[in-house]
Structures are given as C-alpha cells and as structure tokens.
Amino acid sequence: MSKILVFGHQNPDTDAIGAAIAFSHLQNELGKQTEAVALGTPNEETQFALESFGLAAPRVVESAKAEDAAVMLVDHNEFQQSISDIAEVTILSVVDHHRIANFETANPLYYRAEPVGCTSTIVLKMYKENQVSIPKEIAGIMLSAIVSDTLLFKSPTSTQEDEKAAQELAEIAEVDLNVYGLEMLKAGTKLSDKSAATLLDLDAKSFPMGEKNVRIAQVNTVDLNEVMDRQTELEAAMAEEMTTNDYDLFVLVVTNILDSDSELLVAGDDKEKVEAAFQTKLTNNRAFLKGVVSRKKQVVPQLTEVFS
C-alpha cells in the first residue's frame, strides 16, 4: 500500500479542501507519496479561492479501500463526517481543530488537534517546524481557509494565532488580507439560484447527541431574509432529508457574515431542547441568535449538553 489520500470532511468547506492541499504538499516535500482529494465538490467560496491562486479542485473520491490507499485526515475526525469506508482503512494521521468524538484506530497514528480557528493555522506551524517553504499558491489557499473558518476574525473561534498566521500567509500570497478576505466571503453568499436541497447540503454535518442523530447545516449570507423567505421550501427539504437519512433533528443556521448574527430554522421532534440550548423561544420554528456565528463553538456544544 503506497498511495496515501489526504482529505477533509464531507460537504467540504474551504478549510477541508485547503488544509488537504497544503498538508498533502507538506507531506510530499517530506518524502511521502500523497494526493489531496475531496469528499465533495467545492462550494462557490472555495472555488473562488482555488481560482484566485491558480489551483485545481482536488478530485472527488467515494472510497479509500477501492484505491488500496491509507489516509490522512484534516479538519475532521468523527467517522460519520468522513469517507464512507473510513473504518476499513488505515488512518496514518489526523490534523484537526474540532472536538474528538466517535474516533478509534487499530494502530498508533500521528494525531494533532489544537483549539484554534482553522486547521490551516496548524498546518502552517507544521511547515515551520519542518523548515519547508510555502509556495505562493499554497499560502493563498491556506489564507483562504483561515478567513473562511474565522469569518475574517469575527468568529469566537478565531485566535491571535489565526490572525498572525493569516497576516503571514497574505504576505507570501501577495494579497491584501482584508480586501481579498471580504471578496472571498461574499463569493460564497450567492444563494438565489440554489435549490433548498442544495442550500441544506452546502455545509452540513451530522452529530450523534445522546441517542439522537442531529443534522446541523450552516449557510452564510449578507441578507437573512434572502434565505428565510424560502422557509416553506426549506422545511419541506429538511423533512425529506430527515426521512431519508433517519435524522431526529435538523437545525439550519443562517448566518449574516456582515452583522455576525444568525437565525435558526428547526425541524424535528426535539424543538424544546433547541429552545433550552439557546435559552430562546422558537416562533414558527425560527429563532434569532444575536452574535452567534460559529457552529463549532456556539451551536454544537450547547445542543450536545441538552441531549446528554
């Protein structure tokens, strides 16, 4: 087994793809034979970033076992968010910034998890530790990942390490951090031409919480009403997803990237737990959450606690 696939989570965001590209490049520079791949096609924000720095989107794969490949995971560790046959292949390493859950291996591995805003911030540190130089295009996609995950440092997950890393990478990539960052974030908010099913799948992850299977999707916008005016259509699509995939609860988080607020749309039988988690009252299955932008820090932990 000589091939090694490097990939992020399903429904990949800019960090899932950017960190895979960067970490694969680093590993190849260190003598390994790896390929950055993806578990889905890039969204518009990620495609903007790839095109801005002359990078091709990684090919999409559905099975690692079929390619007789070992794997390296970035930007995730939970098996339900990974490739379909993750339990049947050898995991060589994980680089991540999320909670650790539903993860086990038969053999020792390299595991690095740090509480920063973006996996690519960790990967930058690994480049430095191994004294490997970063090409302009790799710096650009890593910068894009940091901007995306931290919402240009407005997210509560953002740290000083992320800001410092972004500034350093912007110099290598030869771009203005704030100008480029805002352009990239806005590129990911073109939603009017997308179906409800597509919106729900742009950035969605499943989380086992107690005995429940909870699906949490997030959509970024510059106008909450543009999304919420489609409530009937979205609720129908959420109901279909729940039936098809046995989700007990579906939470859609619609985030205004300019105001740093979100609105929830909730489907399922445990709405009272959502109300308890956020100390709010759902009206017509909706609730406005001021200052909430991070699924990882401001949504998942709160829901996990009420379901435990």
Task: Cite the annotated binding site for Mn(2+) by residue number.
Answer: 9, 13, 15, 75, 97, 149
Q: Quick one: 300 exposed, middle or buried, by C-beta within 10 A (0-12, 13-18, 19+)?
A: buried
- Spatial neighbors of 192 by CB under 8 A, at least 6 apart, are 226
Q: Any idea which residue has 């039936």 for tokens?
A: 243
Amino acid found at 129 = E
CA–CA dist 219, 202 (Å, integer): 7
DSSP 58: P
Binding-site residues sit at 9, 13, 15, 75, 97, 149
The H or E element containing residue 186 is helix 177-187
Of 94, 88, 89, the C-alpha closest to 70 is: 89
199 three-class SS: helix
Amino acid found at 87 = A
